[in-house]
Amino acid sequence: MSGKTPAVSHPRRWWRLVTAVAVLLTGPFIALMMPLLSKRHRESWVRWWFRRIARAFGVRIEVHNGKVLRDYADAERGALVASNHISWLDIVAVNAVQPMRAQAKKEVASWPIIGKLATAARTVYMDRENLRSLPSAKDELMKAMRAGSLVNVSPEGTTWCGLASGRFRPAMFQAAIDADVPVIPFVIRYRLTDGRDTTAPAFIGDETLVTSLRRTARTKGLVLEVHVLDPIEPSKAANRRELAEMTQAAVRDTLNRTQTLPDWEHPKLAVA
């Protein structure tokens, strides 16, 4: 990204952090309510909560084609929702559009408040340092999708800063093949209101979550842009590796297209 990232004033960034903490503290109460609510009301509350987190940090969410996920959820049709991975905000992006189960690294379970909510949402945790945990995680995701659940995975396996991206690992795509459900590519892009891509929300390497949170809070005009692409049926691929490559190509094509468009050329967006 060329140019300096615009920043809000110091009082404004501290107000954002205080507001975000206040929203996060409502999370346990919402989790306690979940068993008492219908599926539709649970999803509404979760969607509201994640949108409030984004708003607390001054992030505007813009969604293309989000109806695809809502249609699948309403019909209780299972699917593997495969997204690129850039930031801790990615989980906000997914659940602000459509709450769903997820596969995540085991460290997420220990994150303050969000970890408890993720566990309550039946997140499937995996130890990425222990390949023995992979088959059981895959089987659990397969059963969830076969039962009609949407499941989100980040097949790159790590966060990527800026315009770079990693290879989609094929392991979790086997769960979609075994469950005989489609893969729905979910594209996440972070940009400023002037159209420039930004690395501000990225969470990379040895950086702490607090450092990333503070950098996000000080960024002015941050936009979280989401594209939900057309489903890819597993029958179109010869195996899990080819299915992963098809999904990766769809995600990268969308990123390349959106990153080269000037801001004024973007089609009209639906605000989440």
Measured distance CA(20)–CA(189) in Å, rounded: 21
For residue 225, pLDDT beyond 60: yes
What pLDDT does residue 218 have? 95
Predicted local confidence at residue 111, as pLDDT: 72
Determine the average pLDDT of the residues in 157-174. 69
H, E, C per residue of 52-74: HHHHHCCCEEEEECCHHHHHHHH
Quote the CA–CA distance of 45 and 261 in Å, as a whole number.
34
**pLDDT at position 71 over 70:** yes
Please report, rounded to a whole number, the percentage of residues in the chain having pLDDT higher than 90: 54
Residue 261 pLDDT > 90, yes or no? no
- C-alpha distance across the termini of the chain, in Å: 25
Residue 234 — pLDDT band, cuts 50, 70, 90? Answer: very high
What's CA 7's distance to the chain center, in Å? 24
> In the chain, what are the domains?
10-271 (3.40.1130)
CA pair distance 80, 93, nearest whole angstrom: 16
The pLDDT assigned to 1 comes to 42
At 86, phi and psi to the nearest 5?
-125, -40
Mean pLDDT calculated for residue range 228-235 = 96
Beta strands in the chain (DSSP E): 60-64, 79-83, 101-105, 124-126, 150-153, 183-192, 222-228, 270-271
Q: Which alpha helices (H) appear in 129-239, and where do they start and end?
A: 134-146, 173-179, 209-218
Rounded-to-integer distance, Cα 24 and Cα 117, Å? 10
- Looking at residue 107, what is its pLDDT? 74
* Percentage helix, strand, coil for the chain under 3-state DSSP, each rounded to 5: 50, 15, 35
pLDDT at position 130 is: 64
- Tell me, what's the pLDDT at 202? 85
- Stretch 255-260: mean pLDDT: 78
* Predicted pLDDT of residue 204: 66
189-219 pLDDT per residue, tens: 999 998 889 888 887 667 777 888 999 999 9
CB 94 within 8 A of CB 186: yes
- Condensed to tens digits (0 to 9), the pLDDT of residues 102-132 reads 887 777 777 766 677 777 777 887 766 666 7
Structure tokens at 60: 């505007």
